[in-house]
Amino acid sequence: MTSHDGERAPRVCSRRAFLRSLALLPFAASLPACAGGLATPGAPQELQTTTFCFDTACTLRGVMTQDVLDGVVELCRTFERLLSRTIDGSDVGRINATAGTSVEVDPRTAELIRLALGYCRESDGLFDITIGSVSELWDFKGGIVPDPAQIEAALPHVDYTKVQVEGNLVTLLDADARLDLGGIAKGYIADALIAQLREAGVTSAFVNLGGNVMVMGGRPDGSP
């Protein structure tokens, strides 16, 4: 449109176009904030997960990538498959099922048994990993409690000196003895999880395996 003096008049925006522009303003204003708030894929961040292993809740928390957290969870499950006495085919399950015969186990299982036997000796048998012949008499889920006669019959088979470890070969010399690593396994596993996190470059982490707690570094926000 041209004015009377020959100059071009300013273009007037239609009502519809004006309203459309207003509708887009909130979206446009949010773009910088959205771009700045996006997490960088694969970047370390504070993560937490709780999984069920070893018949208990296991919580893992720390500043790490999702891949690192997933790897630690998988390590938990690996140890459960190796050390649980109630999982068919576990190292401990195979040792107990073939008591009197040498069983080749994972190097980590052999290492833990050697470590545990050291504590058995230091405590003069007050801590004994062959307590399984007694502990298996209880069924807490089924509410079964053994009678005193059953316990008395099982006690003679609690003797850590009947466990032999040669390399990765483990032998229970008493065919009625049973391994139960529940008194040491979670602490050993927590150490292994922290070691894997540290190797991955994590500097702040919290591991709780059913009350067996390990921590590394300080809180991510620096608070006490």
Residues 52, 58 contacting (CB under 8 angstroms): yes
pLDDT on residue 44? 87
Angle at 221 between CA 219 and CA 224, to 5 degrees: 50
Residues 118 and 170 in one domain: yes
Residues 118 and 158 in one domain: yes
pLDDT on residue 128? 97
The reported pTM is: 0.76
pLDDT at 47 over 90: yes
137 by Cβ neighbours in 10 Å (0-12 / 13-18 / 19+) ranks as middle
**Res. 8 pLDDT band, cuts 50 70 90:** low
Say how far apart CA 218 and CA 67 lie, in whole Å: 22
Residues 129 and 198 in one domain: no
CA quadruple 215, 217, 219, 224: dihedral sign: positive
Number of separate domains in the chain: 2
Residues 96 and 170 in one domain: yes
Residues 169 and 213 in one domain: no
Q: How far apart are the first and last CA of the chain?
A: 71
Say how far apart CA 111 and CA 89 lie, in whole Å: 19
Q: Assess if residue 168 is contained within a domain.
A: yes
- Cα distances (Å, whole numbers) of residue 218 to 18, 49, 162, 191, 197: 54, 19, 43, 17, 14
How much of the chain exceeds pLDDT 90, in percent?
69
pLDDT digit string, tens, across residues 141-169? 788 889 999 999 999 999 999 999 999 99
pLDDT at 12 over 70: no
pLDDT on residue 152? 94
Angle at 47 between CA 42 and CA 51, to 5 degrees: 115
Residues 166 and 102 in one domain: yes
pLDDT on residue 5? 53
**Res. 221 pLDDT band, cuts 50 70 90:** confident
Which amino acid is located at 187 in the chain? G
Q: What number is the average pLDDT over the span 112-129?
A: 97
pLDDT at 33 over 80: no
User: Residue 28 corresponds to which tokens in the numbers above?
Assistant: 């446009």
Residues 81 and 186 in one domain: yes
Q: Give residue 128's domain range.
A: 91-179
Q: What number is the average pLDDT over the span 216-221?
A: 85
pLDDT digit string, tens, across residues 86-100? 898 999 999 999 988
Q: Assess if residue 106 is contained within a domain.
A: yes
Residues 72 and 152 in one domain: no
pLDDT digit string, tens, across residues 172-202? 999 999 999 999 999 999 999 999 999 999 9
